[in-house]
Structure 1
């Protein structure tokens, strides 16, 4: 572990921007492709000046170090400068996903105790009314006129809180993950190592900066690159931008990759200067991975992490994807890659004892970017952080070469007739079947088996034949893993991050659960 990860780096992450303004002030720093009036670029010197003004305004408005400031903003210059200004002022950023609704925002704003919400006019109708919350509209007037610009970011220790990042809440009310300046610095360092950031990088942000994509903002700044911002994702536009904007890197979740592949025009070829398509966030379907590996000439990188230890616990490098091109049957393409330097992983059984290679158990992690805990939830923190180890709630195994294979979420494990069935392994088979467009597997109460493996499917062309589905599964799965019940729905319920809400499926099929 190097000195930067051990705390030698200055505490406040906003210092990365100030450093860029000193060393390469005229380089492009942020280009807002959807700014009112047309694309707008700010240099490192210009963005630093605006962030200094805004941080001074926040301070003059009474925002003190440690106060929480919520951000409800689309990908935009306003998001970037507000996030960095909150950091520079020593406050705590609370990014809110614009795809959520008023009840979600009400919970998050109340739970975090936010002193100020910075949003935009188009989203004002989703903001909870009443209470003492102050609201500033970033697209009307920046709250910086009454203050003096900050000459330098406020001193912050590495372990001081920088952000509250709300989890997706697939199993209950979202919890706020406490990430420190050290956490964000560490992720930036790891991103530079895994993705090889350079000063001439042009990183395209089409996924929300409020979640995974936001962790690539700082490493781009640290390297001296340019952040291209799109307000929302359009697959066809993205395919064109990779060429016209001379993009060198992009972050996508697997569903976005599928949409991008479907939108590629005939004759499209990956640009020579494009270096990496980085994906994470959810399992990727095998056919999508194969097609993407071919379309992007193996220039893919995957990682495994979670908001409690963001982004980089393991990585499946570009060299691994290139190997997949050479060896189509290589099983490593189904893995999450190898453990990264500075990270420890352990696979343990239900009693907490380590298991041998090839045997599944819960994935535990110890890493410098691990959260400080859950905001206001000491019991949940104690259950998740035990003896210095993060209990990820994921089930997986390490193979003989050290590749991590994530099998499922621990809470999605089904116990049927005393045997463990991981929903994900059944879903992977279902998604390969003709007539199945989307799939989720849950356990439902069964008088004989305790739980019955139950498939909830969205039909593709020629679908809705449950017996044909079960027959196809019997050819590929052990008998106890074959769905005992098949239900067809028009679509699967998903949260704002695209994850299937299995609790809603269970409730719909068995309201008494």
Structure 2
């Protein structure tokens, strides 16, 4: 299956008139979206974008953006997700590294598109959504149906750049098919699904459109994750399936209207991209009911390496098992998950090491980076860079990123464990725990927090509560309250940026 095959399957199941995409008051049926992807796909081919090339869409979430991505897939080109909030220099890097041949853009991005046209040597065609509504070259009725090549590239997705310059990740049709089928086997998306895409389509929220389309579902696109708007959309469109990063779930829980909104249509609220504190998982289950599903993955192994199903959430809640709620589940149907030490030896249950993954959803490698690709794999296992352990029942528990581990007074402190303790405080909305310079201990455990709306915080009280649950070594020695923590477009907190302010001019690999 190719990305476009999910759309065509949905059109077969639901018929031409069923709503495929809803964008505000705009509604596009499956028949209309299929026709538009053929028309735009033919124009892409006419301008040299097709099999063996790449193309991109630039703009905020919209029906046009999703149609553009599907048209790229129809042409046989590989899609390069481009974040509309990125700087011009970042976009130049991504599109140049990916040898982008064509760029479809939102009219509000016209100035950026003009700069990219001048600075990205591979670009042959840039076209706005408005221009696409006019006459286009190429024959949509004669657009070829590319042969099914499981190993052909479907996407070149770039890493978040949280630890350095973004790297291009080459993902095949087979990898994307594995991601879609793994989710379909693990979660109830609705019959048919109504999927709310509020987080950026260029990240996980975009990938989740494909399983919804595969079932003949409707994708409701929204330009951003604003808690009140998300809750209103769930009620108005009877949304059955929603993906959000934990930071956005916390926003929903803090919204004063959450209790009065009708949330009964939800079948799956999928959270991923970062661990969620067990206390917050319990709170979300109490508010939304037994619909939470957690998955774990990364750009190099997209999203569905492990799954903590809705039934497993409910069972852990009923048993009062916060440890199970703090895990990210067991291996999905398409992945093997293990723990490895630095020497490459696989470790048994309970032993902490680097999480490694193998299976059909892995990347082919990093784009034009054979050395980085070789370093990422060990005997066929993808090294994720995440530290964790597997318990006796096969549940995966993440404790930190290898680069985020704090060494304080000679002791290893895993930030995720401390963050869970900090997030248990009723005033804390979100937090990042990092190591900051300390003359005696090398690094001091430091919590940088956002507060819930209208809340206040006594730092000494928080530190004392953490000492009671974690002990003095792991508990924060310092607490800072920030109005807002820096985040990536995918909603991940950028610890690199937070650390930079504390370590500027000092000897630490940020």
Q: TM-score, normalised by structure 1?
A: 0.90
CA deviation digits over 1:243-295, x for unaligned, max 9?
33222211112222222233335444432x43111111112233432222112
* Alpha-carbon separation, structure 2, partners of 1:463 and 1:259: 18
Q: What is the aligned counterpart of 2:424 among 420, 427, 432?
A: 432
Question: Residue 54 of structure 2 is aligned with which of 41, 61, 68?
Answer: 68
**Alpha-carbon shift at residue 458 of structure 1 (Å):** 4.4
1:307 aligns with 2:299: yes
Distance 1:496 1:348, change over 3 A: same
Write out aligned runs for 1:152-167 (5 A). Answer: 152-167=144-159
Q: Check whether the contact 2:44–2:102 (CA below 8 A) recurs between aligned residues.
A: no
Q: Which of 397-406 and 415-424 deviates more?
A: 415-424
> Any unmatched runs of 5+ in structure 1?
1-9
Long gaps (5+) in structure 2 = none
**What's 2:178 paired with?**
186
Structure 2 residue 132 is matched with structure 1 residue 141: yes
* Greater helix content: 2
Q: CA deviation at 1:494?
A: 2.6
CA RMSD of aligned residues (A): 2.4
Give the Cα–Cα distance (whole angstroms) in 1 for the partners of residues 81 and 134 of structure 2. Answer: 18
Shift of 1:322: 1.6
Mapping for residues 239-388 of structure 1, pairs under 5 Å = 239-263=231-255, 264-271=257-264, 273-388=265-380
Moved beyond 6 Å, runs of 4+: none
Deviation (angstroms), 1:182: 0.9
Q: Confirm or deny that 1:455 pairs with 2:441.
A: no
Contact 2:189/2:268, CA 8 A, preserved across alignment = no
Distance 1:239 1:457 in 2: 25
Deviation per residue, 1:16-63 (Å, 9 max, x gap) = 3334445543352422223xxx322222x2221111111111111122
Structure 2 CA distance for partners of 1:23 and 1:259, relative to 1, 3 Å: closer
Partners of 1:322 and 1:366 lie apart in 2 by 28
| Counterparts of 1:243 and 1:439, CA distance in 2 | 30
Deviation larger for 69-78 or 437-446: 437-446
Does structure 1 residue 96 correspond to structure 2 residue 88? Answer: no
Whole-angstrom CA distance in 1 between matches of 2:3 and 2:430: 41
Q: Contact (CA 8 Å) 1:66, 1:91: kept in 2 or not?
A: yes
CA distance in 1, matches of 2:224, 2:355: 34
294-303 vs 424-433, which deviates more?
Answer: 424-433
Quick one: structure 1 residues 470 and 287, their matched pair in 2 at CA, closer, same or farther if it must change by over 3 Å? closer
1:323 Cα deviation after fit: 1.5
Q: Matched residues in 1 for 2:448 and 2:237: separation? A: 41
1:40 to 27, 36, 46: 27
Q: Is the 8 A contact 1:176 1:375 kept in 2?
A: yes
8 A Cα contact 1:168 1:174, kept in partner: yes
Quick check: 1:294–1:325 contact (8 Å CA) kept in 2? Answer: no
After superposition, the Cα gap between the structure-2 partners of 1:456 and 1:80, relative to the gap in structure 1 and judged at 3 Å, is closer
- Specify the alignment match of 1:31 in structure 2: 21
In 2, Cα distance between the equivalents of 1:241 and 1:21? 24
Change (3 A) 1:28 1:393: same
Report SS of the residue matched to 2:131. coil
- Checking the alignment, whether the CA contact within 8 Å between 2:57 and 2:103 is kept in structure 1 is yes
Aligned to 1:505: 498
Question: Kindly tell me: are residues 29 and 296 of structure 1, through their superposed partners in 2, closer, same or farther at Cα, counting changes over 3 Å?
Answer: same
1:109-258 alignment to 2 at 5 Å? 109-127=95-113, 128-129=115-116, 130-131=118-119, 132=121, 133=123, 134-142=125-133, 145-149=136-140, 150-197=142-189, 199-258=191-250
1:78 Cα deviation after fit: 1.6
Q: Deviations over 1:202-230 (max 9, x none)?
A: 22221221110112222222222222222
Instruction: Identify the match of residue 56 of structure 1 among 32, 39, 42.
Output: 42
Q: Does 1:395 align with 2:382?
A: no
Q: Out of 163-172 and 414-423, give the one that drifted further.
A: 414-423
What CA distance in whole angstroms lies between the structure 1 residues aligned with 2:224 and 2:488? 17
User: Is contact 1:464-1:488 (8 Å) kept?
Assistant: no
Q: Distance in 1 between matches of 2:447 and 2:324?
A: 27
Deviation at 1:93, TM superposition (A): 0.8
Q: Would you say the 8 A contact 1:412–1:423 is kept in 2?
A: yes
Offset, 1:419: 2.0
Q: Which moved more, 1:172-181 or 1:497-506?
A: 497-506
Shift of 1:187: 1.1
Question: Counterpart of 1:363 in 2: which secondary structure?
Answer: strand
Q: CA deviation at 1:159?
A: 0.7
**Contact 1:252–1:278 (8 Å) recurs in 2:** yes
